[in-house]
Structure 1
């Protein structure tokens, strides 16, 4: 199941807890409780508000599927997610995967490249990383 957002925001935009709650059909208090139970679920917190990244939402969808459709207990879901994280690339935060896949490339180096252009080699590598991340998230 993919979250259905009808707010007109970009797919990669940060979402508030209310927006995520409405899209997933999960009460806000349950989302806050899951943050306590699943340490990998760490939305950004600014001025007392929670902002969920796309990877946080994907994790919430997985937790919801495990607990509410597949019949896992919270401990069982925690273990299933841990087992999934122990496999290469699966379930990892995209920044961690990118660092593993391309430690020799630096986004800062690309951004500060003379003339403001990103070298073709960097673009090719980033496309490869994006593809690998998409495959890992589907697993």
Structure 2
């Protein structure tokens, strides 16, 4: 029997809550589990987000259970809670960089728009007198 430790979703729409379960690999995501060994609530603050029974997790790993990628990550967070804060800090830095890039691109786009419109107006003014001159020549030719 292939046993896997993974997340089983609960909660309501747009407010997820996950149970960390030991389950047969072939069963459905929310199917009948062998044992619930913890929970993960992504809506809470970082300290209270993960509840995991480490002893039971180690027991199931010794029996050959495989961890899903997310459970491996949650295990590392539960072992060292500072990892959560480090990752949150990295994400906030990335978001700030992205916002700065978007703001810079917006400023550059605004600076380019007036520069593009001004030469177009000058070209239009230059073309208008050129059209009038040939019309005068035609009038002289008719007389």
TM range (shorter): under 0.3
**TM-score, normalised on structure 1?**
0.24
Q: Which one has a larger percent strand, Structure 1 or Structure 2?
A: 2
When Rg is computed on C-alpha atoms for both structures, the one with the higher figure is: 2
TM-score, normalising length from structure 2?
0.24
